[in-house]
Amino acid sequence: MDVAESRARPNQFARQLFAGLPKRYNLLAELLSLGQDRRWRDEMVTHVAGGSLGRILDVACGPAAVTRELASRTSAQVVGLDLSVDMLAEGAANVSRAGLGDRVSMVLGRGEQLPFADAAFDGLTFTYLLRYVADPAATIAELARVVRPGGPIASLEFAVPPNPGWRAAWWGYTRAVLPVAGLMTGGPAWFDVGRFLGPSISSHYRAFPVPWTLDAWRNAGIDSVAHRSMSLGGGLVVWGVRRA
C-alpha cells in the first residue's frame, strides 16, 4: 500500500483501502486528526446548512458522519454517495440507528462521474476525497455541475501545517506515531493504513498546493471561494457558492 499505487489506480485503491475500515473508521479519523475531526466537520457543515435547502449531496460519505450531521442540522433530503460498498453499508446502518432513514438515502457512485442531472442539488459537501482521484480539478468541476446556481458547496481535507515547526511535529506524528497507533488499535492492516496516510497527504499537496486547489474551485464555476486552515493547518475547510 503506497502513494504510487494510489495514484496509478485511485478507485481500485480506495475500494481496497476502505473495504476493511468501516467498523473502526471513526477511531482512525480521530487518531489522524488528534481528536479534531468533529470540529472540522462542524465547521464544514456550517457553510452549507445555513439556508433553506431541499436536497443536499454528501460525496465520499463513508460511514455517513457528515451525512447524518447534514440531516440533523437541516430539514433537507440528504443523499450520501460513496464508491465503497462496505462503507455505504456501514453508513446506512448508522443512518438507520440515528432514526434518519426517512430523509437520507445512500447511493453507490464515483465523485468523478456522478449519477445525477445538472443542478440536481441545492447544496453539496465532500470530505477527504481529493487524494483518491486522478484529476482533482475535473472532479471538483463534476461536483459543481450537480449543484444549482447559488447553492453552497463545502469540503474538508487533511492538510500539511504551513508553519515549519508544526510541520516537523506533524511529520513525526504521521510517520512514526500513526503507524504504531494503527498497529496497536487494528493490527497489521492498520499499520499499513497508518503508514500510508502521512505520505499520501504530503504528496497530494506537493502536486496540488492549497492555492492551486482554490483556483480549481473558481475554475469549476464556484464563486466566493474561501478557506479556513484549522488546528495549526492539519485540517482544511474550503467553501463557496455555485456560480449563477
Ligand X SMILES: C[S@@+](CC[C@H](N)C(=O)[O-])C[C@H]1O[C@@H](n2cnc3c(N)ncnc32)[C@H](O)[C@@H]1O
Residues near ligand X (CB under 6 A) are 11, 14, 18, 29, 59-63, 65-66, 82-84, 87, 110-112, 127-129, 132-133
Cβ proximity to ligand X: between 55 and 68 the closer is 68
Instruction: Give how far Cα 148 sits from Cα of 7, 15, 44, 117, 201, Å.
Output: 31, 29, 19, 10, 31
Cβ proximity to ligand X: between 130 and 241 the closer is 130
From the CB of 136, what's the least distance to ligand X, in Å?
Answer: 11
- Residue 123 contacts residue 151 (beta carbons within 8 Å): yes
From the CB of 12, what's the least distance to ligand X, in Å?
Answer: 10
Cβ proximity to ligand X: between 60 and 76 the closer is 60
Q: Which residues of 194-205 are buried (b: 16+ CB within 10 A; e: fewer)?
A: bbbbbebbbbbb
Cβ proximity to ligand X: between 93 and 243 the closer is 93
From the CB of 99, what's the least distance to ligand X, in Å?
Answer: 19
Among candidate residues 79, 52, 82, 53, the one with its CA nearest the CA of residue 68: 79
Longest dimension (CA), the chain: 50
Instruction: Give how far Cα 74 sits from Cα of 5, 155, 241, Å.
Output: 39, 17, 18
From the CB of 145, what's the least distance to ligand X, in Å?
Answer: 14
